[in-house]
């Protein structure tokens, strides 16, 4: 991996439970996995001023090794904050395969 990929993250994956016949995430039974050789960069931010709530959305673009066990629906703890994965986990292939990696859009809300 590139030498500036020095961040360590925690992937949080929910367990599953059945509610009214449907399988739903069970965050009380979540499992965690530490993943090294990642890199996060600031992405979009937003301010909600709809009259009901003043809130801030912070976005991070996370780069992770191509073989990292991360999928849509997981949460990621990065730099002490927990983020939701916004959308799918994308594979970014390189011409030689040596620098293949994942690109993941993260977001968290506060306020």
- Tens digits of residue pLDDT in 18-50: 999 999 999 999 999 999 999 999 998 887 766
Query: Taking the complete model, does pTM exceed 0.85, yes or no?
Result: yes
- Residue 96 DSSP symbol: S
Residue 53: predicted pLDDT: 65
Residue 111: predicted pLDDT: 72
Q: State how far the alpha carbon of 6 is from the alpha carbons of 19, 35, 42, 98, 110, in Å.
A: 40, 11, 15, 17, 26
65: left (phi over 0), alpha (psi -120 to 50) or beta: beta
Q: Domain 7-110 carries which CATH code?
A: 2.40.10
- Tens digits of residue pLDDT in 58-107: 999 999 999 999 999 999 999 999 999 999 999 998 888 778 999 999 99
Our measurement of the distance from residue 90's CA atom to the centroid of its chain's CA atoms, rounded to an integer in Å, reads 11
């Amino acid at each position: 991996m590139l030498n500036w990929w020095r961040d360590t993250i925690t992937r949080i994956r929910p367990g599953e439970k059945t509610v009214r016949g449907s399988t739903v995430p069970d965050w009380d039974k979540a499992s965690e996995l530490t993943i090294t050789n990642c890199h996060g960069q600031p992405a979009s931010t937003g301010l909600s001023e709809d009259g009901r709530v003043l809130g801030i959305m912070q976005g991070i673009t996370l780069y992770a090794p191509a073989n990292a066990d991360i999928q849509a629906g997981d949460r990621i703890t990065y730099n002490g904050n927990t983020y939701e994965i916004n959308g799918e986990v994308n594979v970014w292939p390189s011409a030689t395969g040596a620098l293949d990696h994942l690109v993941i859009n993260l977001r968290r809300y506060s306020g």
